[in-house]
Amino acid sequence: MPAFYPPLASTTSVPIPSASSPDSFVHLNFFLTFEDGEDSSGSWEIWTDLPQFDNQGNVITQPGEWRAATFTPYQDITQLSPNGVKQNGQSSTPTIHVQALSNYPTATPSPETLFLTAVVPAAINNSYSYTFRHNTEGGETHWLGGVGGNGFIKLEDGEVEVTNEPLTAGSWSHKPQSLEKLEWRGVGIDLINDKIPRISTLPSETATSPTIALLEATPALHLTPFSKISSSSSSIFPKPSVHNLAVVGSLSTPLTVPASATSPSTSNSTSANYGLAVNSPLHGAVAAALKASKIDQSRVRLGKVSGDDDVTALLVSAGDEKPVSNHLVLYAPYASRSRQVTINVPEALDRTPLAVISSSSSPVYLPGQGDRKVDIHLDAGAVAEVLRLSEFIEVRGAGSVDSIWISAPDATAYEIGEEELDLPKDKLAQAANLAPTRETPSHASSDTIQAIVVASDGENGLTEEDDEDDTTVVETAPTEEGWFFHFIGRFFVNIWHLLLSAFRSKAVPDTDAQDPTTDSDDDTERFETQTPADADEKTPLLDTLSRATSSTAYSPLISPSSEASSKTITKPSENLTTLSKLISANDDNTDVNLPVTNTVKIRSYAQLTFNHPSPFQLYLPPGTKGAQDKLRFALKTKEASKWDDVVPKFIEKEEKCVELLVEGGEGQGKEWQVQIEHV
């Protein structure tokens, strides 16, 4: 004999709030359950005087008229969605594949259940009767209630008792007693013993001490509320009340879950808090529990998930120094279909590129800019996974050479450095992209040619040998590119010389000196200063040093290398004259070359430390071409002084991160170092 809910020979009161609308309806759910192996063949019916309605909500039975209604098998229609389709109807190409847990606890099978929903007007003081009967496959009818064994339903004035609040939270030691009657299952997350979160299934055969417990429980269908008030006369499909529970301990005191227990014990859980969501997603319970626990928000944050409300994501961070360990912990209760979701990476993370690493698929690259999202495909069943968010570090390139980004998920520490290496002198001109002499373009006028000579006197002035070797180097505009910037630069240099000329020593005129002559070829005046033949220790010092003093004026645009390679004999008083010539020339091809800056070679490197021997797993962004030719790898123990060159194995996958496997190394040590040099 099946069990009936509500049973026969009983009276069930249905409260009707006085504030309810007179046009409201009451939905009444009847259930039959069978024990394992019990015969459920044939048809099972309720025989009742409850009114019946058509599709337009009109009563189609007479008051007091008895008629039959048939029970139907219950099947949860929420589990019948097509596989691989999001609930919002949008398809997505998954980038990370997460497999279902193979050891997830199975719930106790629900008994075979038949249900029937009747709808009556919400009229106070109405009453109805019912009984049940069974029609066998052979055509026989068996009445299941004897004389005086009918069941009764009375609609009375009263408030509906709220048995399940949608969302509650508080201290775990003061949790509702009803939670102990439910059969819980889920996962525990350990955040204390390691930087990497550890997941264990609950209940477990052994005692566990997680920091966070994420649990689900679904009471049997026949335990759902018997009545529900609605404004519609259309039958509402009954659903069991899904309970989602989150229990959060502290980072210093974990929870205590005894072996085979379905929920944490209250002993040693005074610092634990809970969040309970009934018929609402688990992430609401998690948010309430985290808020009640006042756990450090920089360590544990709730992630944003779109595509399936049943999926919960937690961002867990560990470590106060670089590299900070960041993980995404995913949990999705059991589902008979596969799911595709998108997780938004929290803005709290640094805007550096990330490698999203899972245990069952190749790493996915996330750029440092833009709206960072991770598409994930979840297999049917219960899912719990820890995704590593590994930051990329930049090994910079010199000049126009692009940087190379490298991720080392297992590295316990890293160091990034740069060294300046001086170029050989014979390569200085080549590095600066300058030639010793240039030819004057055929279309350039003589006014566009500027004679620039800088004195090279060590630190204080010219030597006699330098005096004898004074020469003029004529440089012309090499190309049309950059003439404007050279012109502006030369303009400010000339202004600088003009300002300093008032503070420089003036040459003492010599009666034997020759008159200035004008060079008609380049329009630049040249002076030939002679040393008096009768000069002695009484001769004014400025007579012999006037030219050197006036020609060694400091120019902010002249570097040490250029001071040693060129000379000038341009008089300060002629600066404006020369500048006016440059302006009047107004030739687009005119280029006055500025002095050459000192050039150095940059060596960029990264040193990674690991607490385990090889192999070492590294990653590059997808599409990193030619990285093998730009990187040099070396390996050693931390205690060793000599580096051993190694050649890693490169594994490229389409649209996924490039994997590098570094193997080799000799010696014994607990810590190893890998050096990566940007060639």
**Each residue of 117-149: pLDDT tens digit?**
999 988 899 999 999 999 999 999 999 887 778
Element housing 611 (H / E): none
Helices (H), 384-456: 428-431
Band (95; pLDDT cuts 50, 70, 90) = confident
Most confident by average pLDDT, 445-449, 450-454, 514-518:
514-518
- Tell the residue number behind the tokens 């960041």, with chain if given: 326
Which among 454, 411, 210 is positioned nearest to 324, based on CA atoms?
Answer: 411
pLDDT given at position 462? 38
Sheet of 304-306, strands arranged across: 96-98, 373-378, 339-344, 304-306
**Residues contacting 147, CB < 8 A, separation 6+:** none
Residues in the chain: 679
Q: Which residue has the higher pLDDT, 98 or 87?
A: 98
Lowest mean pLDDT among 164-168, 521-525, 632-636, 651-655: 521-525
Distance CA 281, CA 299 (A): 23
Lowest mean pLDDT among 248-262, 279-293, 567-581, 582-596: 567-581
Report whether pLDDT(393) > 50.
Answer: yes
Element housing 293 (H / E): helix 282-293
**Residues contacting 299, CB < 8 A, separation 6+:** 191, 251, 316, 317, 318
**Using alpha carbons only, what angle is made at residue 141 by residues 138 and 145, rounded to the nearest 5 degrees?**
150
Distance CA 25, CA 465 (A): 114
The SS3 assignment for 177 reads helix
Asked whether 633 and 648 are in contact (CB, 8 A), the reply is yes
Report whether pLDDT(408) > 90.
Answer: yes
Q: How far is CA 263 from CA 165, 181, 239, 267, 405, in A?
A: 20, 11, 24, 12, 45
| Residue-by-residue DSSP string for 87-113 | TTS-----SEEEPPPSSPPPPPPPPEE
Asked whether 310 and 282 are in contact (CB, 8 A), the reply is yes
For residue 650, what are its two tokens? 């490169």
Asked whether 415 and 607 are in contact (CB, 8 A), the reply is yes
List, in order of start, the domains of the chain with CATH numbers.
3-78+110-157 (2.60.40.10), 167-222+239-295 (no CATH), 396-421+600-678 (2.60.40), 438-585 (no CATH)
pLDDT given at position 294? 75
When pLDDT is averaged across residues 50-55 and rounded to a whole number, the result is 82
Band (579; pLDDT cuts 50, 70, 90) = very low
Distance CA 462, CA 452 (A): 16
Band (483; pLDDT cuts 50, 70, 90) = low
Band (568; pLDDT cuts 50, 70, 90) = very low
Distance CA 3, CA 334 (A): 28
Band (308; pLDDT cuts 50, 70, 90) = confident
Q: Which residue has the higher pLDDT, 532 or 369?
A: 369
Q: Which residue has the higher pLDDT, 181 or 547?
A: 181
What is the DSSP pairing of strand 373-378 with strand 96-98?
A: parallel
Lowest mean pLDDT among 115-129, 204-218, 370-384, 416-430: 416-430
Q: Can the peptide bond before residue 6 be classed as cis, meaning omega within 30 degrees of 0? A: yes
When pLDDT is averaged across residues 13-37 and rounded to a whole number, the result is 89
What is the DSSP pairing of strand 112-121 with strand 273-278?
A: unpaired
pLDDT given at position 106? 86
When pLDDT is averaged across residues 632-654 and rounded to a whole number, the result is 89
Asked whether 132 and 8 are in contact (CB, 8 A), the reply is yes
Which among 134, 177, 158, 161 is positioned nearest to 19, based on CA atoms?
Answer: 158
pLDDT given at position 113? 92
pLDDT given at position 282? 94
Which among 269, 334, 360, 343 is positioned nearest to 301, based on CA atoms?
Answer: 343
**Using alpha carbons only, what angle is made at residue 223 by residues 218 and 228, rounded to the nearest 5 degrees?**
105
Could you report the per-residue pLDDT of 218-268, keeping only the tens digit for each?
Answer: 888 888 889 988 888 887 888 888 899 999 988 888 888 998 888 887 665
Distance CA 435, CA 423 (A): 17
pLDDT given at position 603? 79
**Residues contacting 489, CB < 8 A, separation 6+:** 557, 592, 594
When pLDDT is averaged across residues 25-51 and rounded to a whole number, the result is 92
- How would you write 9-72 as a 3-class SS string? CCEEEEEECCCCCCCCEEEEEEEEEECCCCCCCCEEEEEECCCCECCCCCECCCCCCCEEEECE
Lowest mean pLDDT among 239-253, 423-437, 481-495, 560-574: 560-574
Could you report the per-residue pLDDT of 506-525, keeping only the tens digit for each?
Answer: 555 544 444 444 444 444 44
| CA atoms 169, 76, 43, 153: torsion sign | positive
When pLDDT is averaged across residues 285-307 and rounded to a whole number, the result is 88
Percent of the chain residues topping a pLDDT of 90: 31
pLDDT given at position 569? 40
- Average pLDDT for the chain: 75
Task: Give the predicted TM-score (pTM) of the model.
Answer: 0.67
pLDDT given at position 348? 72
